[in-house]
Structure formats: C-alpha cells, structure tokens
Amino acid sequence: MSSPGTRTIVIAMDGSDHADYAFKWYVKNAYKDGDKVIIVFCAEYNQLANQPLTLMSVDKSLITNLIDGEEDRVKKLAAKFEELVLKFKIEGKIVRVNGEPGHAIVKIATDEKASMIVTGTRGLGNIRRKLLGSVSEYVLHHSPVPVMVCRQKE
C-alpha cells in the first residue's frame, strides 16, 4: 500500500517513439516527488504470429529462431526502460506481461492500486482503429483510474 502523498503511476511502454514521448511527457509535466512508476510492457510476438502455419510446421527451427529473436528484442526494450527510470531518477519497476496489451495494462493498474495510467497513441485513423483495435482506446474505456493519453505531434 502506498504511503500518503505517494502515487503509483502505470506507464504503458512498447518501445515505440509514441510510448517514449508519453514517458517523457509524464516526467516533464506530471511527475511528483515520491511517485512510484510501473512500466508495463506487453511482449507481442509479431514475427511469429505473421508466419504461415504450413511453413512453421515444416521448419521447427524457424519457430525457435523467431522466439529467440523476439526474446532478444524484449530484453533490449527492458534494458532501455530500465535506463529511462535510472536516467530520470524515478523509483519504479518494469512488469512484463503477455496477452492483450489493453487488458493487461488495466489489470496491472487495478492490482497495483494505481493513481493514473499514462500511455501514448499512434493516432490510427477511424478505419484502422476499428480493424486493428487501439490499446489506448481500450485503456481509456476500461480503466478504473484516470488515463492520460499523450499524442505526439507529427
């Protein structure tokens, strides 16, 4: 449980410029001494998901190589997030989750009794957002706490 005056802030990070912008925006505009930051990173195995099933069933080493490549990417992103927390001298931790990013972010915020969620947005158009879904939109509509959606200027 947080002590009085301490806030727990969940920041959704995916390694994109939009997520980096949201983190830096929070540090510059909303950070308060004593804030505890939880960076939520949802590993998405995109390269693995985009491979044809027939190719993967023929070449088992392809699956292993793709998973190893994704794990390396995840480790590099985790190291980048740790550097950000250290650089800005913010108390925090990184939580890696799997599954649907929006649901995971809301769950972590609920479990950690967060005061706020900060997320970036890619600014998908209406059609792409309807087809692909939007993590920031999901979080905005399902979060039990205030959500700051930071849109990076083009």
Confidence (pLDDT) at 87: 84
Residue 154 confidence (pLDDT): 65
pLDDT tens, per residue, the chain with 154 residues = 445 668 999 999 888 888 889 999 999 999 998 999 999 987 665 555 555 555 556 667 777 877 787 788 778 878 887 888 888 888 888 888 887 889 999 999 999 999 999 998 865 555 544 444 578 888 999 999 999 999 887 6
pLDDT for residue 44:
62
Phi, psi of 151 (to 5 degrees): -100, 125
Task: Give the residue extent of every domain in the chain.
Answer: 8-151
Can you name the CATH fold of 8-151? Rossmann fold (3.40.50)
- Concatenate the DSSP letters of all residues of 41-83 into one string: EE---HHHHTS-HHHHHH-HHHHHHHHHHHHHHHHHHHHHHHH
Q: Are 40 and 104 in contact (CB under 8 A)?
A: yes
Q: How far apart are CA 106 and CA 150, in angstroms?
A: 17
Is residue 7 within 8 A of residue 36, CB to CB? The reply is yes
Q: Which amino acid is at 150?
A: C
Q: What pLDDT shows up at residue 46?
A: 52
What pLDDT, on a 0 to 100 scale, did the predictor assign at position 133?
Answer: 52
Residues in the chain, overall count: 154
Handedness of CA 13, 80, 47, 95 (dihedral sign): negative
Predicted local confidence at residue 25, as pLDDT = 93
Provide, for the chain, the percentages of residues in helix, strand and coil under a 3-state DSSP scheme, each rounded to the nearest 5. Answer: 50, 20, 30
The pTM of the whole model exceeds 0.85: no
